[in-house]
Amino acid sequence: MRQSTGRHRRTGTLSIAAAVAVSAGAGGVYLGLSDGDAQAATTTVTVSTTAQLESAVASASAGTVIQVRAGTYYPTATLKSTASGTSSNPITLQAHGTEKVRIDGSKLPAGSWLAGIHGSYWTVQNLTFQSSPAQGFVVTSSIGGIFKNLVTADNGDSGFTLRGDGTVNNLVQNLDSYGNYDAAGHGQNADGIAIKFGSGTGNKVTGARLHDNSDDGLDLWQFSSPVRIEHSWAFGNGKNRWNDAAFEGNGNGFKLGGGGVTVAHLVNDNAAWDNTLNGFTENSNTGAIALNRNTAYANTEAGFYFATGKARLARNLAVGNKGGLDKLSPSTVSAANNWDSGVATPALKSTDATTAYGSRQTSGALPSTTFLTTGSTEIGSTMNQPRAR
């Protein structure tokens, strides 16, 4: 394990008042304190073996930056931490530079999560978490997390999870979560991303691709505070791809509630296609869920299922959903959607999804595609995401 100095420097004068070097282990730990501001101290730890990775995560504290070198790592116990960073001095876990890093749970004991964060102000980025016997990556009651450019694939339960009360101001950006399947539950639980059983404001998912999971693409079951979901795609969920004779996966693209909560989630500029149930569903959440400029295409049930609540739907587009374009209760507010009277359905430029499955842009943004685009500035998903986020 190589450890080195990190130091925040203000431009201009560099009066390095204190530089404290603490010897610890072969490489030594150097705490660089800049300009009398101990809050700015960082410690960079570079790891290249599984044992080093496990140790670095277990001993991380505010300001620790863990850089993981290229390769595949096989933890033998859940990568777990209860430590917190601070808003100015987070704990960072990331691939070294542009190197490809896979963290693989196939050597974990049955039922183990691959990674579990129980602290605040973590930044985790540019890593793949795969093949766990249970959940891939679980964040519990955390504040201020940034989870960026992650892949959670082929795990034995949901790929990425936010849960617990006190889940506040977390950002999940550019997540790819696919192929997750819980064999023990015959597929009934494994979602691409689960934000379930908890509360807390300011949480956002953007730029996600959630596909080919046994249960739902996104699931907000019993999360009682509004979540913002935008520029994300859910597709191909709920299919029995595992030859499970007792398969019980659901297959909603965006499942926006359930379990008795009433909450007004905000759902803008997303797309759902080829899911085995609905594209977008309240799932018994009777709150004023707001849905603007989303597209539902070729789902097996309804494009937009909001049959009991007070959802507010505007400028959404539904095409070719076998169970109907929309199923809305009289209490919903529906305007300027293509099922509303007098609203034309623009032609889709492409119904070939190949490019939507392709590589992301260098920044981690969704791939460029004409799939499901119409050129309209009025209705339906743009199928892209703004730059410079």
Binder among 34, 250, 281, 283 for Ca ion (CB under 5 A): 250
CB of 145 to Ca ion, least distance (A): 22
**Residue 269 region, left (φ>0) first, then alpha (ψ -120 to 50), else beta?**
left
Select from 236, 240, 219, 301 the least CA-distant residue to 272. Answer: 236
CB of 190 to Ca ion, least distance (A): 8
CB of 191 to Ca ion, least distance (A): 4
Question: What is the distance between the alpha carbons of residues 381 and 365, in angstroms, rounded to a whole number?
Answer: 16
Q: Please, which residues bridge with residue 286 across strands?
A: none
Using CB under 5 A as the binding criterion, the count of chain residues that bind Ca ion stands at 6
User: Residue 300 or residue 361: which is nearer to Ca ion going by CB?
Assistant: 300
**Which distant-in-sequence residues (6+ apart) come within 8 Å of 32 by Cβ?**
5, 6, 7, 19, 20, 41, 42
> According to the binding rule CB under 5 A, does residue 182 interact with Ca ion?
no
User: Residue 53 or residue 194: which is nearer to Ca ion going by CB?
Assistant: 194
Residues 317-376 binding Ca ion (CB under 5 A) are none
| Alpha helices by DSSP H, 19-108 | 50-58
Question: What is the distance between the alpha carbons of residues 15 and 283, in angstroms, rounded to a whole number?
Answer: 59
Locate the DSSP E strands across 74-202: 79-81, 91-95, 101-104, 115-117, 122-125, 128-130, 137-140, 146-148, 151-153, 160-164, 171-173, 176-178, 193-198
User: Residue 104 or residue 215: which is nearer to Ca ion going by CB?
Assistant: 215
53 three-class SS: helix
> According to the binding rule CB under 5 A, does residue 268 interact with Ca ion?
no
> According to the binding rule CB under 5 A, does residue 191 interact with Ca ion?
yes
> According to the binding rule CB under 5 A, does residue 284 interact with Ca ion?
no
Q: Which amino acid is at 32?
A: G
Binder among 188, 240, 361, 382 for Ca ion (CB under 5 A): 188
CB of 213 to Ca ion, least distance (A): 9
Residues 204-243 binding Ca ion (CB under 5 A) are 215-216, 219
Question: Where in the sequence numbering do the catalytic residues fall?
Answer: 255
CB of 279 to Ca ion, least distance (A): 15
Contact positions toward Ca ion, by CB under 5 A?
188, 191, 215-216, 219, 250
